[in-house]
Amino acid sequence: MTQAARQTTRDLRRHNRAALLSSLYLRGPVSRLELVAESGLSAATVTNVVSELIADGVVAEAGSVESDGGRPRTLLAVRPGFGHVVGVDVSETHVEVGLFDCALGTLGTVRHPLVGTRLDPDEVAGLVRTGIAEVLEDGDPDAVFGVGIGVPGAVRDGGIVHAPTLGWRGVNFAELIHPHIQAPLHLDNRARTLGQAESWRGAGRGAGRAIVALLGVGVGAAVATAGRSHPDITTSEWGHTVVKAAGAACRCGSHGCLEAYVGTEAVVRHYAGRVGKEPVIGDESDAELARIVAEAAQGGPAADVLAETGEYLGIGIANLINLLTPDRVVLSGSAGAIMGPAILPAVRDAVDRHALDYLAERTEVVLGTLGPEAVALGAATLPIAQLLANGGRIG
């Protein structure tokens, strides 16, 4: 066999491993028969690849299901204990670090508040390193095969961060972290990582095209479009689309942006203005938003502010529906978890009034399901994605 032929055969085996492992990870537990049907590969190829994955400790048998007229089918799943990953959420108000198993089960989390609106990259990196050390205190650092970090901005050239909300322009954030950790480092926009998490394990799973709204201090959106092996994720600056001409001032310098009405601190500020008090912002803004949501159940200014928030969020979602025709919109992020249940009816009502009828009727608006550590979990999908692309081989 020539070297070119050997290379082609090796590449084909690597491709088959990656495709089958991705399918198994994102849709599992599944049977060998289901993998054959979905992949289009022969039964012999699937059997050989699965046997390799089991021998490598990546995959394990996970029970069985009855089949029509035949023997029960054995189910397969990625083995949670194959290794661990760390996910880091760097937001405008805090750094949250989570330790997760290979199936994205949460093993531990820590959170450190950030103070100020122009945050020193070295100080933030120090909190990230501290958080990683804390979640690994009772674990085995050698079991960690990757660290993912989600940041509120664009990531270029492998780790250069442009994050206007943090006051960062061209910050080599990866260089501030990587020398201090053993595992490979992955950075990406936090809206994109959240979109990946909701598509893999949350409310976006199974959608042909899902829009995952990151509702936090800021507002972003990820578009997850179903692909052959895994969803394709893109992001947009949805929070800075204008929903009211000459409206409220936004921290981007414009006026009337969606973020100026539905971001955590925007809601807190609007409420404070209604009742004549100083707004509670920074790391305490989530707790203040939760208090406003609780107060809204009694009516009054809190209820009025949440009604307005739901209206503007519905307008923003209607614009997305008219532009991108998703079949599902997921309200996620910290603010989504806190106020989502309270404003969901108002959001849906606004969507019905502002989106084109024939598009709105094909789109469901739902709440995220991943809980408060959703963005850190999303960051943890970055090293997992690399593992899947490598066919379960680390390095």
> Which pTM was predicted?
0.90
Angle at 368 between CA 363 and CA 371, to 5 degrees: 180
Q: Is a pLDDT exceeding 70 seen at residue 308?
A: yes
Asked if 340 and 256 sit in the same domain, the reply is: yes
Gap between the Cα atoms of 254 and 251, Å rounded: 7
Asked if 115 and 183 sit in the same domain, the reply is: yes
pLDDT tens digits, 312-368: 999 999 999 999 999 999 999 999 999 999 999 999 999 999 999 999 999 999 999
Asked if 250 and 215 sit in the same domain, the reply is: yes
The last residue of a domain, from among 28, 58, 78: 78
User: Which residues are CB-contacts of 152 (< 8 A; sequence separation ≥ 6)?
Assistant: 90, 91, 92, 163, 165, 166, 189, 190, 218, 220
Cβ atoms of 146 and 383 within 8 Å: the answer is yes
**Owning domain of residue 267:** 206-369
Q: Is a pLDDT exceeding 90 seen at residue 294?
A: yes
pLDDT tens digits, 126-156: 999 999 999 999 778 889 999 999 999 889 9
Q: Is a pLDDT exceeding 90 seen at residue 4?
A: no
Q: Is residue 2 part of a domain?
A: no
Which residue in this structure is represented by tokens 């532009």? Answer: 323
- What is the tally of structural domains in the chain? 3
Q: DSSP secondary structure string, 220-269?
A: EEEEEE--SSS-EEEEE-GGGSBSSTT-SB-TTS-BSBTHHHHSHHHHHH
Asked if 258 and 149 sit in the same domain, the reply is: no
Q: Is residue 4 part of a domain?
A: no
Asked if 66 and 126 sit in the same domain, the reply is: no
Q: Is a pLDDT exceeding 70 seen at residue 243?
A: yes
